[in-house]
Structure 1
């Protein structure tokens, strides 16, 4: 059995990791840490795990790091800046690291420091980190020592754009205009489990608002995905605006594209179906059908619909996922499966919850 540790097990992504790994046939959670809840049983904080997990939270203090080196994999479900303080020692001990925060997502130190207000603690290890999007980086993930788990919004944006960017590269001429507009909405759980006025029930219920309009830290991650991960031959001007919607979990990203004459010659429905025909967790809906967030709730699935309108020379890509599963913890488990040679879907075959 694989020995795993979860650092930061009281946040929403942390408890999702506990939920998913508790049903994983090849994994045992050996350590579960929390600075604020050390000494308490996990079921006392999350009653949903009563009878599922008998773990007790430990403090990430003196001696804990040494104990973590006995694990095979350590998940960091912590705020930005925590994983990079521990990762070098863990990697040196032969432990695989999967960070669900942003410490190992951006390869540009300048961008990381600009958007996350931290000086990177291990830039040399950052160079070795692999961006954990299995549908794109599967081969690199297999041998990775450190995974930067993608942000929730970038997951929908990059996977939503992958087939058309690849088609453009293969065609040898531009099939979309340089301007890409990404209009994205997330449930409140995407902001984390924290007591903030703007996130309480009275503020978020019966309300809908945009945020990060002047700039959001997921934008450079999306740009990195398009220009470096997907290796676009063309420079794209990406406009990304996220919104908060009054639901707990779920994410809906709408991508607006303008097609060139060459793009209008493409059958985008066919291109998307072929691009993802062998991907278990990506579902391309039939032409004329459109997704909703509850169709993926509590699952690791991501659903995509494609609408092509040659009369207006436009295309609309609609992407939904559960922001806490495929957008966070589920994707981390998917990466772990790839890293250790397991079936990629192991522990992730959960049917979406409806209603």
Structure 2
């Protein structure tokens, strides 16, 4: 700090807990056979605090990750991997029937009362079935949790999936159209999972109406289980300002638009990203239309404030449609008066 400035910028780091960090299959894997290809996910976690919960360590707080096999006969690493995991093909022999994979990197780790940036190794081990003949006739277990979504938003579909051997993939369909898959080559939303059997997929909700959801889980032997469910999409979030000032906190995903129905506003409508206030890398953009579908003009005073979208209104109370897009994941407050 000098005479010309009293601004001090501190950079924070997440402290990794090696006890809570795991290298584990991204989907449930109960039995491992020779020539099985699967993904190992590197789950970076801090220590737990009150309530028994920890946080995910940002990938920016660890160094480059390298993956290695215990022995060359264990399997094959498909590519070099990344800070979130690596694809592996199991092999094994009669003399070496265990797959061992190690992720090595540097991270901030607690040492006494301080934290230092030091080397860390996280291991994965799994027995390989190398000399067996089996017939897999067990269907995967599968559930879908889909509540009534809001139109014009991105909702997250969740559920559980499991198998006596290995879950190979999960695909999500809406009205017969593929919207989510574990296979990136399908070029749709990515279905992600964890080693405890949970799965999730994003879905951009369309207009008001009823949608037929279908989820299909496939195991490594080609057995499939299908779950069907219908959900009804509700209208956009409604903010009723007819009785005076009203505001609502809304969680935004980067570049995903959300639409709001504003009722009875007459003075102003605006959105501001209070969770990142003053962050020059955070921007909002919005469009506002009245009940006749006419575009409203943004207040020029706020043109220089990238973290606020402000519209001045004149006349009697009326209804409006307000669509907002955030440049980053953050909380945004929508105000109407």
| Bin of the TM-score, shorter chain as denominator length | under 0.3
Q: TM-score, normalised by structure 1?
A: 0.26
Structure with greater proportional helix content? 1
Q: TM-score, normalised by structure 2?
A: 0.27
RCO (CA 8 Å, sep 6+): is it higher in 1 or 2? 1
Structure with greater proportional strand content? 2
